[in-house]
Amino acid sequence: MTWVNDIVQGILLGGYYGIIACGLALMFGVMRIINLAHGDIAVLGAFLIYLLLEHWHTSPFVALLPVLPVMLVLGYLLQRLILQRSLRSGVLTPLLATFGISIVIQNVLEQSFGPDVQSLGGDTGSLVTAAWRINSDVSIGALSALIFVAAILIYAALQFFLSRTSAGRRMRAAAEDPDTAELVGIDAPAVYARATAIAVGIATLGGLALALRTTFSSYAGPDQLIFAFEAVVIGGLGASLWGALLGGIVLGIAQTIGAQLNPEWSVISGHIVFLVVLLSPRGGLLTFRTGGGTGPRFAAGRRLLTRPRATS
């Protein structure tokens, strides 16, 4: 029965990975930018919430409310001022730009907050310790459940935005073909900036989830990036919106089962599942959906190589 508990805990952990992966998948799907600073942006969001909590003694969820708009604006500016320019010079430049931003964020955080490990779990009262006992083996922590539900809501909201709203349709059009999008009246750079703002906003939620469920420090970003990246790849490289959440759940289950076999195997078993999926002929759980399906889809990862070019 401990296996059942492992799987349940893995699914719940997958909710966290799903949140962290969501923004990464969005930016890759819409702009083909692999944002290496994604984990650091999440940690930055966590530190901003931490900063507010040092001055006001309130709940982290209340502190999120002013931090979220700040992060949305930061995301918008990040795209407008840095990434949009770097996109003009090929696929490699944005990658290097985000790598640089990652280092800058880590160092600024260390300068501002020091190297200490922090956690916001203590600021939520009983949320961290509360749990529902299902039976003698399985119990569900309130915080894990909350994070999982938040993940589902985030993905559902994003799906609704992309498939039902006119701004979402413009985002899908600009993701498929920014050149043609411009020709039908879509300001593609503005749409891209909005996508990055949303991605950074969701990363902030991921940062809060991280800060609540465990500890974080100035250099916690790259680890989160790796988990997010693995979730995105396992889920099929942006081929489907929900793929990243599913990838996160697979990663979470792999880690909890690995930890059950041997406490040291937790992270490595996640990496092994990632490598197996990467090496499998299909290269991702949901990539088979690129030919059909009904949900809103981002451009498939493979399209990176066959992106339509302007003709003479």
The residue (of 246 and 299) whose beta carbon lies closer to another protein is 299
The residue (of 119 and 180) whose beta carbon lies closer to another protein is 180
Smallest distance, another protein to C-beta of residue 158, A: 16
Q: Of 125, 185, 263, 281, which lies in the binding site for another protein, with binding defined by CB under 8 A?
A: 185
The answer to the question of residue 26 lying near another protein (CB under 8 A) is no
Half-sphere exposure of 292 (CA within 13 A, CB side): 1
Smallest distance, another protein to C-beta of residue 295, A: 11
The answer to the question of residue 299 lying near another protein (CB under 8 A) is yes
**Stretch touching another protein by CB under 8 A, among 70-78, 88-96, 178-186, 278-286:** 178-186
- Please give the Cα distance from 81 to 267 (Å, whole number): 36
The answer to the question of residue 297 lying near another protein (CB under 8 A) is yes
Residue 139: what are its φ and ψ, rounded to 5°?
-135, 145
- Contact, 135 vs 143, CB < 8 A? no
- Please give the Cα distance from 139 to 132 (Å, whole number): 5
**Stretch touching another protein by CB under 8 A, among 118-126, 180-188, 209-217, 219-227:** 180-188
The residue (of 71 and 162) whose beta carbon lies closer to another protein is 162
Q: Of 93, 182, 222, 267, which lies in the binding site for another protein, with binding defined by CB under 8 A?
A: 182
- Please give the Cα distance from 200 to 83 (Å, whole number): 13
The answer to the question of residue 159 lying near another protein (CB under 8 A) is no
The answer to the question of residue 289 lying near another protein (CB under 8 A) is no
Q: Which residues bind another protein (CB under 8 A)?
A: 166, 169-170, 172-173, 176-177, 179-188, 297, 299, 308, 310-312
